[in-house]
């Protein structure tokens, strides 16, 4: 008598502590999605995209799995009913008459996608192919943060591309672009395991300090590098109340600026003896400053903070999924009216952070949060999110043109989710020698993100003028500022 085989059980594997933390951070006001936009010069068919997704994206088995969370812990579970047609979709924008209205319609669509949570009964990702955009196509991607951090997911998306229009073995992006990230990262990775092991103790101590601040003195006396870093993070004051903080809604607004020339940004960095990242974050602070002042905000002496992710693994390992980054608090000197002084202050703060272990402490805390009770997670998330107004990311992309399914990629941008009570996200990405700047904001706080991003170019023009002319001791006079603004508009 023939025996029937028992049906194969779906493959299941435990989720890492840090990935679990990001899964559980989901809020109606802040979906934990990384949203990306790729703009193509030529039209792409849905079948071409599906073929590309099957061959390259689904080469990562994790994307065939859905996230399940139980009191016993979170896990990845193979989706027995996986349907590619649900995950890869075609869409069209409503009628538009010109380039400006088309961009507005596209920004509204991306905003809607960034506001809509992914279906938890399926693998947490989706691709939306927008037909006939900008004479070509556009691709909107949504992937849950629990799958991987922004750096890894950008690498995953770039693995869909080629360096030539017709894919060849020699056109693999990995060989053309990814490289060693230096011994510093290796040193940090080595230290990470040690901090993860004591992450639970750190979180427990942090919660005790939250309930009883007098314990901070005791911890300071005990000494130890991790203790000092935790104490410094917990001792940070809450970010000042401004129009950029407040009760969040469930709608996001997304906008992006005209790209900058990367060589010009590097020139400013050399003139100011700082990094490209310092220059760009200072320009972002200037754009926020201008927007807030125009809306009646008094910024005298005000400094805001942004949480900034710090990569904790070598770039050649970025295609391995999972979250491997820490967070640091970067100061955005929006109260400083001199653009060059803003750059200097951002650079000084970033240098101080580079010499600290704040990122690794944050990674250990995230690992501990992944195993903590829900009530503790909520307290810790609120405690740390009150100390910042924005999330800011800067990812250096490949400085050469790329092709997706034979279509040349013109621009690319992405936005990471905000956490807790934070409602502003600043994203900077360089690609093909241009720098792309984007903003995502809670619609209640910033209903008009275009009004912010339109100031990014003029703020950089001020920096370019001052840095290259050596006029560092004073702010631009009104005539010069007006001229530069007109030039950039």
Cβ–Cβ < 8 Å for 173, 398: yes
Cβ–Cβ < 8 Å for 185, 311: yes
- Clarify whether residues 256 and 285 are in a common domain: yes
Cβ–Cβ < 8 Å for 195, 366: no
List the CATH number of the domain containing 173.
3.30.559.10
- Measured CA distances, 280 to 315, 337, 463 (Å): 22, 16, 10
Question: According to the model, what pLDDT value does residue 8 have?
Answer: 67
- Clarify whether residues 252 and 382 are in a common domain: yes
Cα 143 from Cα 32, distance rounded (Å): 9
Question: According to the model, what pLDDT value does residue 141 have?
Answer: 96
Which tokens is 205 given?
A: 């101590």
Boundaries of domain holding 194: 183-392+443-488
Q: Is residue 176 within a helix (H) or strand (E), and if so which, with residue range?
A: helix 173-177
Contacts of 44 (CB under 8 A, 6+ apart): 129, 136, 137, 139, 404, 405, 407
Question: According to the model, what pLDDT value does residue 70 have?
Answer: 83
The alpha carbon of 139 is separated from its chain's Cα centroid by a whole number of angstroms, namely 18
Beta bridge mates, 13: 76
- Clarify whether residues 107 and 209 are in a common domain: no
DSSP for 140-162?
Answer: EEEEETTTB-HHHHHHHHHTTEE
Cα 57 from Cα 156, distance rounded (Å): 7
**Which of 177, 212, 227 is at the close of a domain?**
177
Contacts of 396 (CB under 8 A, 6+ apart): 429, 430
Tell me the angle at which helices 262-272 and 339-354 cross, rounded to the nearest 10 degrees: 80
- Residue 231's nearest CA partner among 245, 244, 217 is 217
- Clarify whether residues 27 and 71 are in a common domain: yes
Question: According to the model, what pLDDT value does residue 227 have?
Answer: 53
Residue 489: count of CB within 10 angstroms of its CB: 9
Contacts of 390 (CB under 8 A, 6+ apart): 244, 304, 305, 306, 307, 332, 418, 422, 424, 425, 426
Question: According to the model, what pLDDT value does residue 364 have?
Answer: 63
- Clarify whether residues 168 and 260 are in a common domain: no
**Which of 159, 177, 195 is at the close of a domain?**
177
pLDDT in tens, the chain (489 residues): 555 565 667 778 899 888 888 888 888 898 999 999 999 999 999 999 999 999 999 999 999 999 999 877 899 999 999 999 999 999 998 876 688 888 999 999 999 999 999 999 999 999 999 998 988 999 999 999 999 888 788 888 888 999 888 877 655 565 444 444 433 433 333 333 444 444 444 444 444 444 444 434 443 444 455 555 556 666 778 899 999 999 999 999 999 999 999 999 999 999 999 999 999 999 999 999 999 999 999 999 899 999 888 777 665 555 568 877 777 889 999 999 999 999 999 999 988 887 776 666 666 666 665 656 666 666 667 777 888 999 999 888 888 999 999 999 999 998 988 888 899 999 999 999 999 999 999 999 999 999 999 999 999 999 998 887 775 554 444 444 444 444 444
- Clarify whether residues 115 and 233 are in a common domain: no
Question: According to the model, what pLDDT value does residue 215 have?
Answer: 39
- Clarify whether residues 87 and 234 are in a common domain: no
Phi-psi region of 182 (alpha: psi -120 to 50; beta: other; left: phi over 0): left
Place of tokens 């810790």: 380
- Clarify whether residues 247 and 356 are in a common domain: yes
Overall number of domains in the chain: 2
**Which of 121, 151, 177 is at the close of a domain?**
177
Which tokens is 262 given?
A: 């990367």
């Amino acid at each position: 008598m023939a025996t029937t085989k028992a049906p194969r059980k779906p493959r299941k594997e435990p989720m890492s502590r840090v990935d679990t933390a990001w899964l559980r951070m989901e809020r109606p006001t802040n979906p934990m999605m990384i949203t990306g936009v790729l703009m193509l010069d030529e039209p792409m068919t849905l079948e071409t995209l599906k073929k590309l997704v099957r061959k390259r994206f689904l080469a990562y088995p994790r994307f065939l799995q859905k996230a399940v969370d139980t009191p016993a812990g979170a896990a990845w579970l193979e989706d027995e009913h996986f349907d590619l047609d649900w995950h890869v979709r075609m869409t069209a924008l409503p009628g538009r008459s010109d380039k400006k209205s088309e961009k507005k319609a596209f920004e509204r669509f991306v905003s809607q996608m960034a506001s809509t949570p992914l279906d938890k009964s399926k693998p947490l990702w989706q691709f939306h192919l927008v037909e006939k955009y900008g004479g070509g196509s556009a691709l909107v991607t949504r992937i849950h943060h629990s799958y991987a951090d922004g750096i890894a997911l950008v690498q995953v998306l770039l693995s869909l591309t080629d360096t030539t229009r017709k894919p060849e073995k020699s056109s693999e992006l990995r060989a053309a672009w990814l490289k060693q990230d230096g011994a510093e990262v290796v040193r940090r990775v080595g230290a990470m395991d040690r901090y993860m092991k004591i992450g639970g103790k750190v979180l427990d101590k942090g919660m005790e300090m939250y309930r009883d601040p007098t314990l901070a003195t005791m911890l300071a006396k005990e000494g130890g590098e991790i203790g000092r870093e935790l104490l410094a993070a917990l001792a940070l004051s809450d970010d000042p109340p401004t129009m950029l903080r407040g009760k969040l809604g469930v709608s996001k607004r997304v906008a992006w600026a005209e790209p900058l020339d990367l060589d010009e940004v590097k020139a400013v960095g050399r003139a100011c003896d700082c990094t490209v990242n310092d220059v760009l974050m200072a320009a972002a602070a200037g754009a926020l400053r201008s927007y807030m002042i125009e809306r009646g905000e008094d910024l005298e002496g005000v400094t805001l903070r942004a949480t900034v992710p710090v990569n904790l693994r070598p770039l050649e390992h970025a295609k391995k999924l999972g979250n491997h980054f820490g967070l640091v608090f970067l100061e955005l000197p929006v109260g400083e009216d001199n653009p060059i002084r803003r750059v200097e202050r951002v650079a000084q703060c970033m240098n101080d952070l580079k010499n600290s272990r704040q990122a690794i402490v944050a990674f250990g805390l995230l690992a501990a949060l992944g195993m903590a009770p829900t009530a503790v997670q909520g307290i810790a998330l609120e405690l740390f999110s009150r100390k910042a107004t924005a999330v800011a990311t800067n990812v250096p992309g490949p400085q050469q043109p790329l092709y997706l399914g034979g279509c040349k990629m013109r621009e690319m941008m992405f936005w990471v989710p905000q956490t807790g009570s934070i409602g502003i996200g600043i994203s900077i990405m360089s690609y093909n020698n241009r720098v792309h700047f984007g903003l995502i904001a809670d619609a209640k706080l910033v209903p008009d993100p275009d009004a912010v991003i339109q100031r990014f170019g003029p703020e950089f023009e001020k920096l370019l003028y001052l840095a290259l002319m050596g006029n560092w001791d004073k702010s631009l006079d009104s005539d010069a500022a007006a001229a530069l603004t007109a030039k950039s508009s």
